[in-house]
Amino acid sequence: MMAKGGQFERDVAKKISLWFSYGDRDDMFWRTPCSGGRATVRGRKGSKTEGGYGDISATVPESMHFINVCPIECKRGYKGACIWDIFDRPKVKQQFDKFIDQIEGDAAKAGAKWWLLITRRDRALEMVTFPEALKKDLYEAFGDLPIPYLKAYVSHSKIYWTMPFDSFLEWVDPEFFKEKK
């Protein structure tokens, strides 16, 4: 049985917790209440909600900084929730483009430097997509991206990078995010 919606977010939160804690804890991150809806509602009233943007939130103070510099959106079980779909009809805004718009908006509202979009299709790997700015900083810190990866121009002609999520977690030391502002 494949994880959908909320279960997928819980699975991603656990995986990020284990990565962030070097395997010591699986509870440092969890699903954001209402999938970030509280931050959206409060934002309409001009209020910010620290750590409340995106689908994953921090549950302990040590993990709050990561979410503040890099909110995470999770998408599972949506038709067109894959970067490959943009190649089918590149002149038409695809669902994947809308997901990028959503996490970019959340990151801007949070004042975050970067963001991660984690997606999964049926019978496929979890993939992570991130902006060019994060790729440049990761390259500077860790060298070439692990293969395979995809560089794509989507959503407003910006550059995004996509790779298997597990490869990303193996490539990136969580200390990178702990040190960034």
DSSP class per residue in 119-148: EE-TTS-EEEEEEHHHHHHHHHHH-SPPSS
**What does pTM read for this prediction?**
0.86
pLDDT in tens, 134-162: 999 999 999 988 888 888 765 567 888 99
Q: Which amino acid is at 168?
A: F
Q: Which amino acid is at 170?
A: E
In this prediction, residues 9-37 reach a mean pLDDT of 89
In this prediction, residues 49-57 reach a mean pLDDT of 75
Is the pLDDT at 77 greater than 80? The verdict is no
Q: Which CATH architecture has domain 5-178?
A: Roll (3.10)
Instruction: Give the domain ranges of the chain.
Output: 5-178
The per-residue pLDDT for 9 is 93
Mean pLDDT of the chain: 83
The per-residue pLDDT for 50 is 57
The per-residue pLDDT for 121 is 82
Cα dihedral 12, 15, 18, 20, rounded to 10, equals: -60
C-alpha to C-alpha distance for 106 and 91, rounded to whole angstroms: 25
Identify the residue with better confidence: 97 or 170: 170
- Measured CA to CA in angstroms, residue 86 lies from 130, 149, 169 at distances of 16, 16, 25
pLDDT in tens, 86-116: 666 666 677 888 888 899 998 998 889 999 9
C-alpha to C-alpha distance for 142 and 39, rounded to whole angstroms: 33
The per-residue pLDDT for 42 is 46
Pairing state between β 29-31 and 126-131: unpaired
